[in-house]
Structure 1
């Protein structure tokens, strides 16, 4: 339960909560009138992503880094799953200014938008670890934007047969060839990766849905895989003690190197799995 302690993770998405298993320190929204609240309205996506990172209900479900501090940047308005590049860029810039150590981007745009690329490059130069969904366009589709920006950590979706009931939508994501373990597969919707990117669970993922009664639900997508890695980055910062050092580009590079050190191939080709799946592991590096 101490994983992620002292680390701030920015979730740039549809808003987060309310949910009793989520503690959100604050955030911002980017409505037309700039006065919106950062909590979710009707869209569950951002709350589901946030729970994967830092749900903290020990009696039911916990995220990868349950002690991480969450900040929500709601770039979608109401029930509209449409946003623009300027809202995304503004959210990234605000996350940097608000002290986020990690930013999760479970989103992708159809084309490269320079305003978003510039915001990401500034964030990375400031020492922020930027994690993004690889895209849900299929096995032959190139890595989506903004996951394709240099030094962004892109994450594809791993599935494992037997971890969800037969007859559910998750079954349709199975696609050969299997990995070294015949139960593992790269989801049929998951875009291609670069050699240094990662796979993470993205099929049949249980997490939080917005509501004061604390509902839970299942989603599939590289959007669900990315926050696993965002949470693991928070864990590395805590376990190594690097969270107590200055947020710099060098520190972010150390975290990425440690994540890659902990990764193992699952027997897929590099364009399917990148460097592989990250194990939670234990810290071997020492804080500077």
Structure 2
């Protein structure tokens, strides 16, 4: 494709954007109204390189990843692109991080009022966006309905986190998950604990196409309008979205996607219902669930895991039980029932530490 030349006299359509959070320094994500020809014209007009483009179901338009080859700051390029009416949304390619804080019936069953003998998520479809998994782990035997690799050009090295999350939701055998019988649709979107917005959006679109009822997102990053739109549209399609509140401490900024409206933000508590000290706090925290020192499948064996990532998995499993018991329940209904029946922890009512409190699966199932 040769070197990219930047046209002279590009004006800023708006002031350069200040960008919060970590992002890819030489890329922007843009939704475009038009075909590949239009995308190339925009690239030529603004001196950008087309690195990838695809039709996004959840965004309802073409999502383009443009490369900046001349060192212009991302904020400047976003401001320049605002001049072109064919670009709809213009965002940085933000970076997101898995939420694992760094060994048996899981104590979670008891804490969340779920009878391990009766627990079932049979045939409930749950999407998980995470690392790769170790399919040889006996806890995942027959659990994974389908897999999608959203970063096929990056070899899979780390499989622990995704294996733990899938296992906590629907594991079988000695390390039984919260919702045995649930069908996991697993999208691999992380390596080395990191992912980017374009990769996560690709995983979300795939999940939406699998007709899942629940999407588990055990990761955190900056606020990004594309992710917000995708989550809003997934929720409008009836999917329950569950996300980790974050492990970045009491003074950390809000973690996304958890902090978007319509996403159930889960914080982590221990066996005595105490808050995990490194949990994020804030008005967005919706519900608490066990996430401290739980035994979970990991790699080919098991490990003791801690983090809001794993608390989110417990909540996804609990919700799969609710859907299995009453398949007609809507996402709104489930969210309201969880809020109304949670066991209050901390200050009375909803608070920034525990949200509405500890999830009570039995009570939520009864709250019709």
How high is the TM-score relative to the length of structure 2? 0.63
Higher mean Cα deviation, 233-242 or 194-203? 194-203
Q: Distance in 2 between matches of 1:242 and 1:84?
A: 34
Residues 218-256 of structure 1, C-alpha deviation per residue, up to 9 Å, x if partnerless?
Answer: 11111111111111111111112427xxxxxxx111111
- The runs of 5 or more residues in structure 2 that have no matched partner are 1-117
Q: Distance in 2 between matches of 1:195 and 1:135?
A: 11
Q: How far apart are 1:262 and its partner, in Å?
A: 2.7
Mark the structure with the bigger radius of gyration: 2
- The runs of 5 or more residues in structure 1 that have no matched partner are 161-182, 244-250
* 1:230-269 paired onto structure 2 within 5 Å: 230-242=316-328, 251-268=330-347
Q: Out of 222, 227, 239, which is 1:128 matched to? A: 239
Q: Distance in 2 between matches of 1:184 and 1:30?
A: 36
Q: How far apart are 1:82 and its partner, in Å?
A: 2.1
Question: Cα 1:113–1:136, aligned 2, differ >3 Å: closer, same or farther?
Answer: same
Q: Which runs of 4+ in 1 moved over 4 A?
A: none
Aligned residue in 1 for 2:19: none
Higher mean Cα deviation, 191-200 or 112-121? 191-200
Q: Distance in 2 between matches of 1:239 and 1:70?
A: 18
* 1:149-228 paired onto structure 2 within 5 Å: 149-160=260-271, 183-194=272-283, 197-211=286-300, 215-228=301-314
Q: Distance in 1 between matches of 2:366 and 2:247?
A: 34
How high is the TM-score relative to the length of structure 1? 0.79
Aligned residue in 2 for 1:141: 252
Q: Does 1:83 align with 2:190?
A: no
Q: How far apart are 1:75 and its partner, in Å?
A: 0.5
Q: Does 1:42 align with 2:158?
A: yes
Give the aligned CA root-mean-square deviation in angstroms.
2.0
Question: Cα 1:268–1:206, aligned 2, differ >3 Å: closer, same or farther?
Answer: farther
Q: Distance in 2 between matches of 1:76 and 1:196?
A: 24
Q: How far apart are 1:285 and its partner, in Å?
A: 5.1
Aligned residue in 2 for 1:67: 181
1:156/1:226 contact within 8 Å kept? yes
Question: Cα 1:193–1:230, aligned 2, differ >3 Å: closer, same or farther?
Answer: farther
State the secondary structure of the residue aligned to 2:234. Answer: helix
Q: How far apart are 1:3 and its partner, in Å?
A: 1.1
Question: Cα 1:5–1:193, aligned 2, differ >3 Å: closer, same or farther?
Answer: farther
Aligned residue in 1 for 2:352: 271
Residues 123-179 of structure 1, C-alpha deviation per residue, up to 9 Å, x if partnerless?
Answer: 11111111000011112324311111111000011123xxxxxxxxxxxxxxxxxxx
Question: Cα 1:8–1:193, aligned 2, differ >3 Å: closer, same or farther?
Answer: farther
Q: Does 1:112 align with 2:223?
A: yes
